[in-house]
Amino acid sequence: MLPVSIVIPTYGRGSLLARFLATYVNQDCAEIIIVDDGSEPPAADVIPSLPRVCVIRNRKRMQQPVSRMIGVAAASQRFVFFGEDDAYLSPGHVRALYEQLKSDTADVVATTWISTSKFDEDVGSRYEEARTMDDLVDLRRIDFWGWKRPLRPLTVPWLHTLALMPKSMINSIGFDPGYTGNALREETDFYVRAHAAGARLAFVPGPPAFHYKGPEAIHGGQHPRRVVSGLLWYEYHAVRNNYRFLVKNRSLLLQLGPRARPLWESVLFLLRRMSGYPGRLRWAIRAERSTISSRVIATHGQ
- Can you tell me the mean pLDDT for 26-30? 97
For residue range 119-152, list pLDDT tens digits in order: 876 655 567 999 999 999 998 888 999 999 999 9
For residue range 60-115, list pLDDT tens digits in order: 999 999 999 999 999 999 999 999 999 999 999 999 999 999 999 999 999 999 99
The answer to whether 115 and 44 are in contact (CB under 8 A) is no
For residue range 144-176, list pLDDT tens digits in order: 999 999 999 999 999 999 999 999 999 999 999
Note the pLDDT of residue 279: 55
- Can you tell me the mean pLDDT for 242-259? 86
For residue range 257-271, list pLDDT tens digits in order: 766 677 667 766 666
- CATH 3.90.550.10-classified regions of the chain: 2-215
- In sequence order, the β-bridge partners of residue 273 are none
CA dihedral 236, 242, 246, 247 (to 10 degrees): 40
Mapping DSSP onto H, E and C, the string for the chain reads CEEEEEEEEECCCHHHHHHHHHHHHCCCEEEEEEEECCCCCCHHHCCCCCCCEEEEECCCCCCHHHHHHHHHHHCCCCEEEECCCCEEECCCHHHHHHHHHHCCCCCEEECCEEEECCCCCCCCCCCCEECCHHHCEECCCCEECCCCEECCCEECCCCCCCCEEEHHHHHHHCCCCCCCCCCCCHHHHHHHHHHHCCCCEEECCCCCEEEECCHHHCCECCECCCCHHHHHHHHHHHHHHHHHHHHHCHHHHHHHCCCCCHHHHHHHHHHHHHHCHHHHHHHHHHHHHHHHHHHHHHHHHC
Give percent of the chain with pLDDT exceeding 90. Answer: 65
In terms of C-beta distances under 8 Å and separation of at least 24 residues, what long-range contacts does 295-300 make, across chains too?
A: none
Q: Using alpha carbons, select from 207, 201, 176, 170 the residue that is nearest to residue 189.
A: 176
Global confidence as pTM? 0.88
Q: Of the ranges 10-19, 98-107, 289-298, which one carries the lowest mean pLDDT score?
A: 289-298
Residue 294 has pLDDT above 80, yes or no: no
End-to-end CA distance of the chain: 42
Note the pLDDT of residue 264: 63
CATH code, 2-215: 3.90.550.10
